[in-house]
Amino acid sequence: MSGLRRAPRPSHGPAAIASSPWIVVFAGVVVMVVLLFVALGAYRGRSPAPDDGPPPAGLPLPPVPASPYELSPTPLPENSALLPGLSPRASGSPPSTPVMSRPPAVSPTGTASARPSTRAPQRPPAVSGRYRVVQSFDGGFIGEVLIVNSSDVDRGWTVRFDFTGGRLVTIWVEGVPQGTVRQVDGGFSYVSGVDVPGGGSVALRFHLERASTTPRGCTVDGVRCSGF
């Protein structure tokens, strides 16, 4: 029996695993199945709250700040009719807008100054007169009132004189029909015989004796003459 040899025993080490790879695959599958069941059990153990449900107890909610643009509804009287398409809030009267008044103008010295007047400036009279002495001599003088029409239309006119003392010798307008002379309260007036043309002028002359060359009064249509 010495010539018989024993068959070698199979090795249970890494050589056996390498020769049987399905053992490794089977072990991996088993591990993955076990991990999957563990994960499913952990997920089912959690109970998440729904999105629209109440928050979990024990967690205080932060206060909600009030909106500065929120308006409280305006109460309406009973039996009040509403316009179609308008809400009760819109049917009320709109709020009044405050009127801002301008402060008075202040001068550089610090005192309030009056505002300039907005009234239109007064227009010069349409007919005016300018007085002058044409010639003076012993016992009297010859004076003149030049009547000027600043308007665009022909106008009649009336001149009134008032001298201290003296005597009216004559009065005339050269080259035109003469007007009417009247005594008025110690003086005299002359009403034109013809109109003075628009934009033109006419000279009224007179001869006075024993009178001052400066009249106390001279007007054309109630407006004081210039030149004295």
pLDDT in tens, 39-55: 787 767 665 555 555 55
Residue 17: both structure tokens together: 């695993």
Locate tokens 């629209």: which residue?
52
Containing 54, the helix (H) or strand (E) segment is: none
What is the predicted pLDDT for the residue at 86? 43
In this predicted structure, the answer to whether residue 72 has a pLDDT above a threshold of 90 is: no
Instruction: Strands of the chain (E only): list them.
Output: 127-137, 140-149, 158-162, 165-172, 180-184, 187-191, 201-211, 217-220, 223-224
Residue 101: both structure tokens together: 């008044």
Using DSSP's 3-state secondary structure scheme, residue 11 falls into coil
What is the predicted pLDDT for the residue at 1? 46
What is the predicted pLDDT for the residue at 80? 45
186: left (phi over 0), alpha (psi -120 to 50) or beta: left
Using DSSP's 3-state secondary structure scheme, residue 41 falls into helix
Using DSSP's 3-state secondary structure scheme, residue 66 falls into coil
End-to-end CA distance of the chain: 181
Q: Are β-strands 187-191 and 180-184 bridged in parallel, bridged antiparallel, or unpaired?
A: antiparallel
Q: Which whole number is the average pLDDT over 7-29?
A: 65
Alpha helices by DSSP H, listed for 63-136, are: none
In this predicted structure, the answer to whether residue 175 has a pLDDT above a threshold of 70 is: yes
Q: Which whole number is the average pLDDT over 200-209?
A: 96
Computed over every residue of the chain, the mean pLDDT equals: 75
Using DSSP's 3-state secondary structure scheme, residue 155 falls into strand
Q: Which whole number is the average pLDDT over 60-74?
A: 52
More confident residue, 129 or 70: 129
Cut 0.75: pTM above it: no
In this predicted structure, the answer to whether residue 118 has a pLDDT above a threshold of 90 is: no
Residue 24: both structure tokens together: 């490794």
Contact indicator for 206, 142 with CB cutoff of 8 Å: yes
